[in-house]
């Protein structure tokens, strides 16, 4: 979801308004009109994302079909009907809110599906993992930056295109992934211990003296309140001068 939040902040390439034509004759007709497209490589270049903006809100369900034509330079290009120069197709048919994205591998027509796109008003955002689009490499990480792409939108007999006659657009670098708000295991396993204060030894000595004084106070009070033994007096003895009787 975070990817979709930041997507509007990225600049999209503009497409002329009113350039929808008949798929058969090339004559100008009415139909879904693309006005801007943005293609990004996200999540450390392992995810491909396209955001299409139309002149009018997108109706779902409808007969709208979005084809992102993709060429992997490591594989030979394929021609299929009027389309050429691609070997992957990222396709979405607006048959319902839960309609998934299809990734078609050419020339074998093998296909797999992924999550439905995000449709909001005039925009449709398609997100595809690189391992499904280009295949998974030996180390499990596949960069989508090498892919080239273009877009064809169809509805009935109307077509609108973005890009050249063959896939030639490059995926821009998308936003960096957000850091995890959770602390790492190593950080929690080794908490930082604050250094001891310089006066901690003196403070402990003062506390010990106070505690010792409080503990000795009852014994001192008991000794003061004990009665003096008989025959003894705290008054000093009388002194008389020594001398004769006479």
Q: What value does the mean pLDDT of the chain take?
A: 81
Q: How confident is the model at residue 162 (pLDDT cuts 50, 70, 90)?
A: very high
Taking the mean position of all CA atoms in its chain, how far away is CA 223?
74
Lowest-pLDDT range of 9-18, 146-155, 168-177: 9-18
Q: How confident is the model at residue 213 (pLDDT cuts 50, 70, 90)?
A: confident
| Average pLDDT over every residue of 182-192 | 44
pLDDT of 5:
40
Is the whole-model pTM more than 0.85? no
Give residue limits of the domains in the chain: 14-173
- 137-149 pLDDT, tens digit per residue, is 776 678 999 999 9
- 113-138 pLDDT, tens digit per residue, is 999 999 999 999 999 999 999 988 77
Q: Cα dist. 186→23, 49, 178, 191 in Å? A: 59, 33, 20, 9
DSSP state of 64: E
CA dihedral 178, 182, 185, 187 (to 10 degrees): 90
Which residue bears the tokens 């025959």? 231
The burial class, CB within 10 Å (0-12 / 13-18 / 19+), for 4 is middle
3-state secondary structure of 209: helix
Which are the contacts of 145, defined by CB distance < 8 A and separation ≥ 6?
41, 45, 170, 171, 173
**DSSP H/E element including 78:** strand 78-80
H helices of 156-199, in order, are: 185-189
């Amino acid at each position: 979801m975070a990817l979709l939040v930041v997507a509007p902040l990225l600049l999209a390439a503009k497409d002329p308004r009113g350039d929808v034509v008949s798929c058969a004759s090339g004559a100008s007709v009415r139909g879904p009109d693309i006005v801007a497209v943005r293609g990004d490589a996200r999540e450390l270049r392992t995810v491909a994302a396209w955001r299409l903006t139309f002149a009018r809100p997108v109706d779902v369900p409808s007969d709208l079909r979005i084809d992102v034509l993709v060429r992997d330079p490591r594989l030979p290009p394929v021609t299929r009907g009027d389309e050429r120069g691609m070997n992957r197709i990222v396709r979405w048919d607006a048959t319902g809110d839960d309609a998934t994205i299809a990734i078609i591998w050419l020339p074998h027509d093998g296909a797999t599906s992924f999550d439905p796109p995000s449709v909001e008003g005039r925009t449709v955002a398609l997100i595809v993992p690189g391992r499904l689009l280009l295949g998974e490499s030996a180390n499990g990480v596949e960069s989508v930056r090498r892919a080239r792409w273009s877009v064809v939108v169809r509805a009935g007999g109307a077509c609108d295109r973005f890009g050249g006659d063959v896939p030639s657009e490059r995926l821009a670098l998308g936003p960096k992934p957000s850091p995890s708000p959770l602390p790492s295991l190593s950080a929690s396993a080794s908490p930082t211990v604050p250094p001891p204060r310089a006066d901690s030894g003196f403070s402990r000595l003062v506390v010990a003296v106070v505690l010792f004084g409080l503990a000795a106070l009852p014994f001192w009070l008991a000794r003061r309140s004990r009665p003096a033994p008989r025959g003894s007096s705290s008054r000093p003895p009388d002194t008389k001068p020594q001398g004769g009787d006479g």
